[in-house]
Each structure stands twice: as C-alpha cells, then as structure tokens.
A and B are shown apart, each in its own frame.
Chain A
C-alpha cells in the first residue's frame, strides 16, 4: 500500500527518533562514567511514541511530561544542548541546574514540565487545557503519562473534569507495561488502559507504540478532535522500556520474552527498514544518523564545558520578590 506521507516528513520523524536515542545513549554513557548525579530514567525503546505523538502538535500547543521525559521534551523542540546541560546540573541547563533529568522545562516551546511525582502532570495538563477553554484560544495540550500513572487518583480526577467540560486535551499513555518492577497486568483488571475512556464517555484507542506512524495518526485524530472543541481523548501506545526503570536497575523482574519482543519490535530499526522500502537512500539515512551523533556530541561538549551554577544562586527563584525575607525566615 502506498503510504500517504511525503518522504521529507518521514525522514523528519526518523531524525527525531535517532536524536532521542543518541541523547539517551550518551546520557547513559556519562551516567555510567559517574559524571551525572542522581538518577536518570531513559526512554530507549519508546522513541516512536514520543516522536509520533509530538509530531501531531503545532508549535503553539503544550505538553506535560513524565519522569521518563527527555525524549518527550526533545520531540517537542527542546534543544539537546540545554537539556544535556540540565542533566549535568550546569548553569546553562534549561532550569539552571535546579531541576535535573526529571524536570526539563521550556515554557517557550510549550513544554510545561516533566514531573517527579507519578500522575501529578495529569491535572496540570488538564489545567493548561482549561486555560485554552476559558480564553477561547485553540492550543491543545498533550499529556504524557505511563501505565503506572493510570492507576493514580489524579488520572481519574483530571480526566473526569476534562470530559465533563470538554477540554482541549489528549491524554497519551506510554504503556511500557511496567511501573518500576510491577507488571501492569498484575495491578489492573482491564485488558487495556484505553478501555477506561468508556468510563468518561470519551474516545479511547490502543495503538502499536513502536509504530511511529500509527502513533502519529492516533494522536493527530485526538489532537484535531480537541482543537475542534470536541473534548478529550485517550490514546494508549503499547511500547517497551529497553532499559531498567532507572539506569542501574537490571530489570531481573522482567521475563526474557519482554526483551526479545522489545528488540524485535525496535521502533528505529523497523522504521529504518520501512524507509528503505519506501525508497529512501541508505546514504540519506546514514547522513541523518551521523548528523544526530554529531549534534548530541556537541550537546555533551556544551554540557561538559559549561560551568556549575554559582552557589550564591541557591536561594534564588524560591519567590518572585522578597526572596531574601521569605527564605531567611
């Protein structure tokens, strides 16, 4: 079947997926070398979901992200250098080093922030959608969350309100099947997360989250629907987390079949094959891969070369004004 997309658009999707993976691979490398503090949650394996979903958005739209949010942010247009610098805790990072891996925010690109509290981003995204409704503007908010967050009260409370008030939002579940170590099947009774949409009388669909075009199409439908005033939808993307919950978690709790499937269904390898079938030239793809590797290398160099924040900024930004007074007492 002839695919309906111009090759340029397909290559853009491929480029972004490769960008995300290179970013994550480099982050893993630096973390393993002991150069990144704290924890990092990598989205290797979930690139098709974050890239396909973001491709359905306009620049003026908004997203909220999860703790596994590097890819979600990059795919919305966050710059790899400032994102990497934030992972390094450097002054040049998106949050001046005060947020770190789990909290990349770029308000100018509609990235309202990743969240360290699972599920907490769902009401926040819904509040962004409420804002568009009360202002009568047409931005859509896309809310990323995982299968784990779908069991939180925040999920129910927020989607119920979005449905009641027909807010312009799309809820995008990245179902990688594990909340840390717990398989979603062992803590839920439904076959899918999407079926819960019925409880709110909104559309709910489950798609192959490793098929970037399937994710794009399902998200586009949800986003268009939201933009035209028809209210929220729930899109569930079935995908795989190649790495542990955080880097260093060896995932002994997952059966080997999971990783076999994950490898077999790897979004980037499969999309690459598909592009070649569609007539893309090998050298074009290689050039994209090299360009992304170089971009991420430069991002790492920027992050490494950047200074740490000055210790005097430790009390800055707690309050808008009267900072000193509110902080000292």
Chain B
C-alpha cells in the first residue's frame, strides 16, 4: 500500500470532502498562498477559490464566531487554529456558542463545524505553542474531541468529523505531521468513537492517543523483553469514548495505565481513571496509574522540555511498578 504523511492524509481527506459537499469551507489564518503553516491546505485556494478557502486576518475570536454563524446557515466550516493554544482567544465561540446552541435552541440549530488545531510539545516552541488541551475541550459538553495518531486514522477521522452534525475539535500532533503511514487509495471513513487495539497484551493495558501511542508501543516492546505482555489501545476519539473496548481490555488485563502528553492535574487520565474505578473496580488488581505531563508550563530549553512530557523510560517504569516488578 502507498505511504503518505499525516499532513498529506488530512489534506486529502479535506479535499475529498470539499469535492463531495460544496458546503464545506476552510476558514483560518494563512490558508491561501502559504497553504497553512503546516501545509495542510496547500493548493486549496487555487482549486476551490476564495469563497471556500477563507483566509482570515489574525482574529481568532472573530473568525471562529463567524464559522459558528455560517454553520447555523448550513455551511460546514473547517476552522484552523494555527496552534491549539490560541483557543484562549477563541473560546467563547467554541464553548458558549458552538457547543451549546443545539441544546439552548431546543434542537433548532446544529453546528456542523470542525475546529482543527495542531497541538503538542517537542518542537521547542515554549509555553504558548506546545500544550495538549484535550482535557479542556472534553470538559465542555456539546463538543466532540478527536486526536488521531496515524495518517490513515487522520484521513478517515477528518472525513467523519466534517460529515458530523456536531462541533468537532480535531487535534493534530505537530510532531506527527511528517510521519508516513500506509493509507488506502480508495474512499473510506473511520467512525468517531471507535478505538483501535494497536497491540494485544494480557498483563496491563495502556490507554493513550495521538503521539503517545508510539511511546506506548516502544515501551511495550521493551517490556516484552522482561516478559511483560502489554496491550496498547489508541482511543482515537475522546468524546465519544469507546467504552466497550476499554471495558473489555480492563476485564482482560486487570491493570490500567492512562498515558497522555498533557498535564496530569485534571487531565484526561483523571477522568478515565475515575470512570474505570467507578465502574470496573472489581476487575482491577491495582489502582489505575496515570502517566502524564508535569503540572508545569512547557519550557523552551530542550533538556527541560523533554523532562516535561512522558518518555518511554517513564512509561516502562510506571508499568513495572504497577506490576510490582
């Protein structure tokens, strides 16, 4: 099968949806001539014109709010925030408008909007360009949250996100953009709310998503040498959550690590740990273990930044201590 990069896969998925449905439009900064800072919309302006590739001024609150207004009229806007950190200046249209309008209008309005944003540390971009904010978005009812880890998933999920009638937050890890994976040539979608078991195992399950999937797989390979059989589940979407897959794995492995790059306090791991403990307590042989980013701001200096988010060694250590090894 051919291999293409994550960024090319997202581009391909969005282009297919733009060809399929003329209501799909792109809105964001530098989407035109530059084709977005990570080259995701390269060529779109030439192919689809200024009515469908709307290159905005630096006004995140304004253009995200505009996307909400357009969505109310039946447009399916795909908004790009240059970095997910910039949600700080565009949170009102997402949190108070897009997420709530269906409910507040008694179902009269739907907001079929996708908000795409690069996230994540590792590029030495310091504190305002390196966060993983899945937990923030998850805490807002009305949003869906998608975090793909591979090119094939990114393509299949962006297509589903665009077709979805609810606002979807689509978080792309910056350090995955260049990664090349096998992607089918033919049309396909991947449903929101479906996890993927990346590695079968019986001793412990690592629940993770986005770039940390690869850290988990590396850790699992190391642990295998010590005779520890690790299951790795890529959740792919955090809302809706694939509880069935999580539940089956917890029943099988009885030990759970939730691995995330974002900060530990009030993180996704805290939520998953609570759900698993509340509902599957009898299945657990040990407390749910969270491996997550430190509760600090992302530093610039490379050795400092590398100490902030989980590394393979941290994960190996956490799994071993969970198994008393």
Mark A residues whose CB is within 8 Å of B.
Answer: 62, 64, 93-99, 103, 105-107, 112-113, 115-117, 120, 122-134, 153-154, 156-158, 160-161, 164, 316-322, 325-327, 329
Do B67 and A127 touch across chains, with their CB atoms under 8 A apart?
yes
Closest A residue, CB atoms, query B60 = A157
Q: CA separation between A125 and B97, bound complex, in Å?
A: 13
Do A131 and B73 touch across chains, with their CB atoms under 8 A apart?
yes
Say which residue of A96, A130, A131, A325 sits within 8 Å of B74 (CB atoms): A131
Distance in angstroms from A17 CB to nearest chain B CB is: 27
Decide if B64 is an interface residue (CB 8 Å cutoff): yes
Closest A residue, CB atoms, query B95 = A117
Do A105 and B105 touch across chains, with their CB atoms under 8 A apart?
yes
17 contacts between A and B (CB under 8 A): A95-B108, A105-B105, A107-B108, A115-B97, A120-B97, A123-B66, A124-B66, A124-B69, A127-B69, A127-B72, A132-B73, A153-B61, A158-B65, A317-B103, A318-B103, A319-B166, A320-B166
Do A158 and B62 touch across chains, with their CB atoms under 8 A apart?
yes
Distance in angstroms from A76 CB to nearest chain B CB is: 15
Contacts of B92 in A (CB 8 A): 117, 120, 154
Say which residue of B62, B75, B141 sits within 8 Å of A154 (CB atoms): B62
Contacts of B144 in A (CB 8 A): 319, 326
Main secondary structure of the interface of B (DSSP, over half): mixed
Q: Interface size on B (CB < 8 Å)?
A: 48
Closest A residue, CB atoms, query B99 = A318
Do B106 and A99 touch across chains, with their CB atoms under 8 A apart?
yes
Do A123 and B54 touch across chains, with their CB atoms under 8 A apart?
no
Contacts of A322 in B (CB 8 A): 193, 240
Do B104 and A103 touch across chains, with their CB atoms under 8 A apart?
yes
Q: CA separation between A326 and B138, bound complex, in Å?
A: 10
Within 8 A of A (CB), among B238-280: 239-241, 243, 275
Do A130 and B70 touch across chains, with their CB atoms under 8 A apart?
yes
Contacts of A326 in B (CB 8 A): 141, 144, 239-240
Q: CA separation between A62 and B72, bound complex, in Å?
A: 11
Decide if B56 is an interface residue (CB 8 Å cutoff): yes
Do B106 and A98 touch across chains, with their CB atoms under 8 A apart?
yes
Do A96 and B69 touch across chains, with their CB atoms under 8 A apart?
no
Q: Besides the contacts A117-B92, A161-B62, A316-B107, what 7 more A-B pairs have beta carbons closer than 8 Å?
A: A123-B63, A127-B72, A130-B54, A154-B65, A157-B59, A158-B66, A161-B63
Known contacts: A105-B108, A123-B65. The answer to whether A318 contacts B141 by CB under 8 A is yes
Contacts of B67 in A (CB 8 A): 127
Do A130 and B66 touch across chains, with their CB atoms under 8 A apart?
yes
Q: CA separation between A319 and B57, bound complex, in Å?
A: 31
Contacts of A130 in B (CB 8 A): 54, 66, 69-70, 75
Q: CA separation between A326 and B165, bound complex, in Å?
A: 14
